[in-house]
Amino acid sequence: MFFSIHGRIDRVLIWIENVAAIIAGCAALITMVLVTFDAILRHLFSSPLTFQHHLTQYYLLVMVTMLALSWGYRTGGAIQIKLLIHRLPAALVGPLVRVGLLASAGYIAAMTWQGYIEFHDAWEQGKLIMGVIDWPVAWSWVWIPLGCGLLAVRLLLDATAPRLSAIGSSH
């Protein structure tokens, strides 16, 4: 029973992670096009895109980073230090990895909650970044709880998996 529920949750999470990664990839593509177009306009015509810097810095790059977190971890983008893992008895490695995943999930869940608090505060107070265009701060913060939340769920799911996958390997 637990295994089938775990598998279903994993399949749904994989689908959500893939959609988030596609959105992150689109944001990266838009960033590259905007920066290139801005550079061309700035250097050839002395007429830069006035909105490009704020849009890419406060929105698109945050989106790229946060929405790709869980997908990157799931597909092998995690970095780990295996200094002691090969020297430990095999019976200890699995439980220690699970404890590490649970601790990581807890830490990332705390970051998710704090990111949500910042987003909600910016939303409720209508915070803005003043400039040529007034940019709403909340739309910069919204990606942090979304991305960290996905990663926290992925870490928790991996920690409770019936069969432990190697960290940093594709699922």
Question: What is the tens place of the pLDDT at every residue in 98-120?
Answer: 999 999 999 999 999 999 999 99
Q: Where are the domains of the chain?
A: 2-159
- Rounded to 5 degrees, what angle do the CA atoms 158, 94, 113 make? 35
User: Is the pLDDT score of 171 beyond 70?
Assistant: no
> For the chain, where are the E strands, in sequence order?
128-129, 135-136
pTM above 0.85, yes or no: yes
Instruction: Kindly indicate the confidence band of residue 4, based on its pLDDT and cuts at 50, 70 and 90.
Output: confident
| Structure confidence at residue 82 (pLDDT) | 75
What is the C-alpha separation between 4 and 162, in angstroms, rounded?
A: 10
Does pLDDT of 168 surpass 60? no
Average pLDDT across the chain, whole number: 92
Task: Indicate the pLDDT class of residue 169, thresholds 50, 70 and 90.
Answer: low
* Residue 83 pLDDT class (50, 70, 90 cuts): confident
Give yes or no for a contact between 139 and 120, defined as CB atoms under 8 angstroms apart.
no
In 3-state terms the chain splits into helix, strand, coil percentages (rounded to 5) of: 70, 0, 25
